[in-house]
């Protein structure tokens, strides 16, 4: 009975704690690629654009 609830809770926890910056850095193939990706993140690749409405 509690199996589906536990699975849903585990899936929700993974969804909420997902860090796109860390996932992007983990895909780097070598040191140079990692440094390039770090510079892209520092430049604002994953920042939200301000919304004015």
Residue with tokens 């699975």: 7
Q: What pLDDT shows up at residue 1?
A: 66
Q: Which residues contact 27 (CB under 8 A, 6 or more apart)?
A: 37
What are the residue ranges spanned by the domains of the chain? 3-43
Q: What pLDDT shows up at residue 23?
A: 92
Q: Which residues contact 38 (CB under 8 A, 6 or more apart)?
A: 25
This prediction's pTM: 0.62
Report yes or no: 25 and 41 within 8 Å, Cβ to Cβ.
Answer: yes
Going from the C-alpha of 28 to that of each of 24, 33, 51, the distances in angstroms are 7, 5, 31
Q: What pLDDT shows up at residue 37?
A: 95
Q: Is the pLDDT of residue 51 over 80?
A: no
Give the pLDDT confidence of 2-43 residue by residue, as tens digits.
788 888 888 788 777 788 899 999 999 999 999 999 999 999
């Amino acid at each position: 009975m509690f199996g589906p609830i536990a699975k849903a809770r585990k899936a929700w926890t993974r969804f909420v704690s997902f860090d796109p910056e860390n996932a992007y850095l983990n895909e780097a193939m070598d040191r140079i690629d990692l440094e390039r990706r770090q510079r892209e993140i520092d430049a604002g690749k994953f920042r939200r654009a301000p919304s004015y409405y």
